[in-house]
């Protein structure tokens, strides 16, 4: 972002456009501000304009348009107030300009300073042992428990960046999409910003799978009129009865997002022709809060008078709201044309909460039930914060466990309801009750039957925990607990136990040093850690106490006076392909690995997790010990790598001169038929002369599934092969694995 010289006419036009954008912000915020608020917003705007006056976005426009757009999202799409507008206007000033946090506090007070601090990234300092992006994520999460508006504004900031991705370099786009998929989309979901979460996922899919996105978008456009006609016919009889009975209501049709349609069409093998399965009818009614529930069931009764409901598809999130506050009554009914249609029934209040999440709760304080679920979630985050020793990546992974999508509802012996993530175990339930209950848990009675602590619970289960004072937490507990709270408490307890055992090891070492006339100093302990290749002092003491280290080997270390001197053979040698060395000689913005050619004498190899082949969109990832690994852009690990380690990502492309066979996998499903396997193998061996590594077919109730591992030259070669498989009679889907 650098200043550029513009003539006076251009500068005057830009000044007027900036003022127009500012007036637009004032207009949309007219309902939430008074005269004093307006003065404060103007003060923040003037400071932001001055601070960012030399800066431009990648698109070339003045930078100030970005904070104005973020502030507008906070008002229009999140329903926030004046403080959020001020902080949104100033959110990049401390990070990118001469403005300091002290300046912010002096002009706008401590609350604004706290929020701006939470929105400011950690300075970029290279350290191969940390992920800077994970540290920034952790900083964001730490501030959630202080002021939720930090998370709200950060999501608004990310939303505007996603909406303007087209002006970014392709590699930068993928990095931003990966960060959004990794943390911001789940966070938006957990905070109840449903519309924003859907938009995040839509933009991510658009840039990660552009061809499939364009294909589905085109099909939706072509079938739009057919859908609209069907919706009118479906809703007309319902509308007439609701109007006759005096309901104040509106009916909307919501087409599912393109990523959701993709999952349905490509992953569940549903034909796109079943277009009616990819939208929902939403009935929104206005009433007093005490009448909401009976009115929802009355509307449900009217809908099911016309259309037969599917009893397995009734979802009552009014009686028991989701953990993110979502309330609605969902049913799926059979239309006269034989197509299933989802109908969502919710009040105006419920609809606003569904779209604007916890920001909307501030308008509806009387709804204490949903607020308490959120307070409980904030409590779980505070539990995570009690473990300061966890590294940033571990912290983020545990936090993400709390961004779960699906929940189950479990009852205590007294009938109290507890909300847990899907696949939670009896041990998760025990820790949800209390830490001491979890640590002393030896089993449970689930619906009156004795079950182990690893038993996976289901919605509706009633659970009674069985405890023992002799129980101690074990390492393998971490394998089957699913909640962040349980994991954090188990790790904390294990560390305490390790420290207790380590104190015995320390005494053993002190006696050994005394026998050998060696001083018990931190320098000598450090030498011992390097000699035995132990990561820290606690682990050293722990292994000594457990008898894992042979202290007789101390005689191999030279003693000068009463100090230890490390033998030369175990001194740390500099690895030429170490992370530090590679990053030093690689410019991640300019350099590109051409696969098939030498790259700066640095070793690189294809990753086993996604087995890229020529023609795939790929990137290089600088590993800590194995040089550079080449991954596909849609590799299962790509999102995590790009979001946590952007500084270790390098562009990569294929050299097309040399053909080399590489391993790829294909999954084929279809209707079992005599000779279909023979047809497939003939295409592979006769028509394409492709070498196979393995082939397996399974048939179940007339449906077959085949997996083929074969060697191909590039994606073009693979695509031709897959296209021929799709044309075989009886084959329903062909996809790469």
Helix (H), strand (E), coil (C) string for 280-326: EEEEEECCCHHHHHHHHHHHHHHHHHHCEECHHHCEECCCCCCCCCC
Q: Residue 5's pLDDT band (boundaries 50, 70, 90)?
A: very low
Q: State the pLDDT at residue 27.
A: 93
Q: Residue 561's pLDDT band (boundaries 50, 70, 90)?
A: low
From 413, 470, 419, select the one nearest 441 (Cα to Cα). 470
350 CB-near residues (< 8 Å, 6+ apart): 292, 318, 327, 328
Distance CA 591, CA 9 (A): 39
Question: How does DSSP assign 119-180, residue by residue?
Answer: HSPPP----TTS-HHHHHHHHHHHHHTT-THHHHHHHHHHHHHHHTGGGS-HHHHHHHHHHI
Of 89 and 530, the structure prediction assigns the larger pLDDT to: 89
CA angle, residues 420, 423, 428, in degrees to nearest 5: 55
Could you give the residue range(s) of every CATH 1.10.3210.10 domain in the chain?
A: 8-214
Question: How does DSSP assign 413-457, residue by residue?
Answer: TT--EEEEETT-BHHHHHHHH-HHHHHTEEEEEETTEEE-TTPBP
Q: State the pLDDT at residue 405.
A: 54
Q: Residue 89's pLDDT band (boundaries 50, 70, 90)?
A: very high
- Among the residue ranges 84-98, 296-310, 371-385, 481-495, the one predicted with the least confidence is 371-385
**Catalytic residue (one of 61, 96, 286, 397):** 96
| 95: annotated active-site residue | yes
Q: Is the pLDDT of residue 72 over 90?
A: yes
Of 136 and 493, the structure prediction assigns the larger pLDDT to: 493
690-721 tens-digit pLDDT: 777 788 888 776 778 888 888 777 777 788 88
Of 534 and 89, the structure prediction assigns the larger pLDDT to: 89
Distance CA 307, CA 202 (A): 32
Q: Residue 493's pLDDT band (boundaries 50, 70, 90)?
A: confident
Share of the chain above pLDDT 90, in %: 17
Of 183 and 590, the structure prediction assigns the larger pLDDT to: 183
Helices (H) then strands (E): counts for the chain: 29, 22
Q: State the pLDDT at residue 390.
A: 53
Q: Is the pLDDT of residue 346 over 90?
A: yes
Average pLDDT over residues 206-222: 88
Of 212 and 65, the structure prediction assigns the larger pLDDT to: 65
Question: From the CB of residue 334, how many other CB atoms can be counted at a distance below 10 Å?
Answer: 13
Q: State the pLDDT at residue 202.
A: 93
Query: What's the CATH number of domain 372-491, 3.40.1440.60, 3.40.50.720, 3.20.80.10, 3.10.20.30?
Result: 3.10.20.30
Q: What backbone torsions phi and psi does residue 182 show, to the nearest 5 degrees?
A: -70, -45
Question: From the CB of residue 48, how many other CB atoms can be counted at a distance below 10 Å?
Answer: 26
Q: Residue 267's pLDDT band (boundaries 50, 70, 90)?
A: low
Q: Is the pLDDT of residue 379 over 70?
A: no
Average pLDDT over residues 431-442: 89
Q: Is the pLDDT of residue 10 over 90?
A: no
Distance CA 582, CA 629 (A): 12
Q: What is the mean pLDDT of the chain?
A: 80
Q: State the pLDDT at residue 132.
A: 57
Q: State the pLDDT at residue 227.
A: 85
469-490 tens-digit pLDDT: 888 888 788 888 888 788 888 8
Domain 662-736 = CATH 3.30.70.260: yes
**Catalytic residue (one of 12, 46, 54, 95):** 95
Q: State the pLDDT at residue 571.
A: 45
13-71 tens-digit pLDDT: 888 898 999 999 999 888 888 888 899 999 999 999 998 888 888 778 888 999 999 99
631-671 tens-digit pLDDT: 888 888 888 788 777 778 888 888 754 556 677 888 888 88
CB 153 within 8 A of CB 88: yes
Q: State the pLDDT at residue 331.
A: 93
Residues forming a β-bridge with 418: 410
- Among the residue ranges 201-210, 298-307, 445-454, 608-617, the one predicted with the least confidence is 608-617
Q: State the pLDDT at residue 243.
A: 93
User: CATH fold of 8-214, please?
Assistant: Hypothetical protein af1432 (1.10.3210)
| 37: annotated active-site residue | no
527-538 tens-digit pLDDT: 887 777 777 788
Distance CA 197, CA 192 (A): 9
- Among the residue ranges 9-13, 53-57, 612-616, the one predicted with the least confidence is 9-13
- Among the residue ranges 227-231, 456-460, 568-572, the one predicted with the least confidence is 568-572
Q: State the pLDDT at residue 734.
A: 85
* DSSP E strand stretches across 8-110: none
Residues forming a β-bridge with 664: 710
Query: What's the CATH number of domain 217-364, 3.30.910.20, 3.30.70.20, 3.30.460.10, 3.40.50.1820?
Result: 3.30.460.10
* DSSP E strand stretches across 176-293: 249-255, 279-285
Q: State the pLDDT at residue 206.
A: 92
112-140 tens-digit pLDDT: 988 888 887 655 444 444 455 666 666 66
Q: State the pLDDT at residue 625.
A: 73
Residues forming a β-bridge with 411: 417, 462
Distance CA 406, CA 136 (A): 27
Could you give the residue range(s) of every CATH 3.30.70.260 domain in the chain?
A: 662-736
Could you give the residue range(s) of every CATH 3.10.20.30 domain in the chain?
A: 372-491
Name the residue with tokens 């989701």: 322
Q: State the pLDDT at residue 572.
A: 44
Could you give the residue range(s) of every CATH 3.30.460.10 domain in the chain?
A: 217-364
């Amino acid at each position: 972002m650098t200043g550029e010289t513009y003539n006076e006419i251009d500068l005057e036009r830009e000044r007027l456009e900036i003022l127009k954008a500012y007036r637009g912000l004032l207009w949309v915020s007219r309902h939430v501000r008074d005269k004093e608020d307006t003065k404060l917003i103007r003060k923040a705007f003037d400071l932001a304009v001055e601070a960012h006056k030399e800066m431009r976005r990648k698109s070339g426009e003045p930078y100030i348009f970005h904070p104005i757009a973020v502030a507008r999202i906070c008002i229009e799409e999140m329903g926030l107030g004046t403080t959020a507008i001020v902080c949104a206007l100033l959110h990049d000033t401390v990070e990118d300009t001469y403005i300091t946090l002290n300046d912010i506090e002096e002009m706008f007070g401590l609350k604004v300073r706290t929020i701006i601090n939470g929105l400011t990234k950690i300075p970029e300092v290279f350290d191969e042992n940390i992920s800077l992006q994970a540290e920034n994520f952790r900083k964001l999460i730490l501030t959630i428990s202080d002021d939720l508006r930090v998370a709200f504004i950060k999501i608004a900031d990310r939303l505007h960046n996603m909406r303007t991705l087209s002006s970014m370099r392709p590699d930068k786009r993928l990095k931003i999409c990966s960060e959004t998929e990794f943390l911001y989309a789940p966070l938006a979901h957990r905070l109840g910003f449903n519309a924003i979460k859907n938009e995040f996922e839509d933009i991510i899919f658009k840039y990660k799978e552009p061809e499939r996105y364009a294909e589905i978008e085109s099909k939706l456009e072509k079938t739009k009129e057919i859908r609209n006609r069907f919706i009118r016919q479906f809703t007309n009889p319902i509308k007439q009865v609701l109007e006759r009975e005096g309901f104040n209501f509106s009916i909307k049709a919501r087409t599912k997002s393109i990523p959701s349609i993709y999952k349905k069409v490509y992953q569940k093998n549903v034909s796109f022709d079943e277009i009616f399965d990819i939208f929902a009818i939403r009935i929104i009614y206005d009433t007093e809060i005490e009448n909401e529930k009976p009115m929802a069931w009355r509307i449900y009764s009217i809908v099911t008078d016309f259309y037969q409901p599917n009893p397995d598809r009734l979802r009552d999130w009014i009686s028991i709201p989701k953990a993110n506050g979502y309330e609605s009554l969902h049913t799926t009914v059979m239309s006269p044309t034989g197509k299933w249609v989802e109908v969502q029934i919710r009040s105006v209040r419920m609809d606003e909460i569904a779209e604007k999440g916890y920001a909307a709760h501030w308008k509806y304080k009387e709804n204490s039930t949903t607020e308490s679920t959120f307070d409980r979630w904030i409590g779980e985050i505070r539990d995570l914060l009690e473990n300061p020793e966890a590294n940033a990546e571990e912290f983020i992974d545990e936090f993400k466990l709390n961004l779960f999508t699906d929940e189950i509802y479990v009852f205590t012996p007294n009938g109290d309801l507890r909300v847990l993530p899907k696949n939670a175990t009896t041990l998760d339930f025990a820790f949800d009750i209390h830490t001491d209950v979890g640590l002393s848990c030896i089993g449970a009675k689930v619906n009156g039957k004795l079950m182990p602590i690893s038993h996976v619970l289901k919605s509706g289960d009633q659970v009674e925990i069985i405890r023992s004072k002799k129980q101690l937490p074990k390492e393998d507990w971490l394998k089957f607990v699913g909640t962040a709270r349980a994991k954090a408490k188990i790790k904390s307890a294990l560390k305490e136990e390790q420290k207790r055992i380590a104190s015995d090891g320390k005494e053993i070492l002190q006696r050994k040093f005394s026998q050998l006339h060696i001083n018990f100093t931190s320098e000598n302990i450090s030498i011992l850690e390097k000699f035995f290749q132990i990561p820290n002092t606690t682990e050293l003491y722990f292994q000594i106490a457990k008898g894992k280290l042979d202290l007789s080997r101390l005689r191999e270390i030279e003693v000068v006076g009463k100090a230890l001197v490390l033998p030369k053979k175990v001194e740390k040698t500099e690895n030429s392909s170490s992370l530090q060395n590679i990053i030093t000689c690689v410019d991640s913005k300019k350099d590109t690995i051409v696969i098939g050619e030498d790259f700066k004498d640095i070793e690189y190899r294809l990753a086993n997790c996604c087995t890229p082949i020529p023609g795939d969109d790929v990137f290089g990832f600088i590993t800590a010990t194995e040089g550079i690994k080449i991954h596909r852009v849609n590799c299962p690990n790509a999102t995590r790598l790009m979001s946590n380690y952007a500084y270790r990502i390098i562009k990569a492309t294929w050299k097309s001169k040399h053909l080399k066979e590489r391993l790829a996998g294909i999954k084929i499903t279809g209707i079992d038929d005599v000779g279909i396997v023979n047809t497939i193998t003939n295409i592979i061996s006769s028509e394409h002369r492709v070498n196979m590594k393995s082939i397996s077919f399974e048939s179940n109730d007339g449906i077959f599934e085949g997996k083929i591992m074969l060697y191909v030259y590039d994606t073009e070669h693979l695509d031709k092969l897959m296209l021929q498989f799709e044309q075989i009679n009886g084959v329903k889907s062909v996809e790469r694995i």
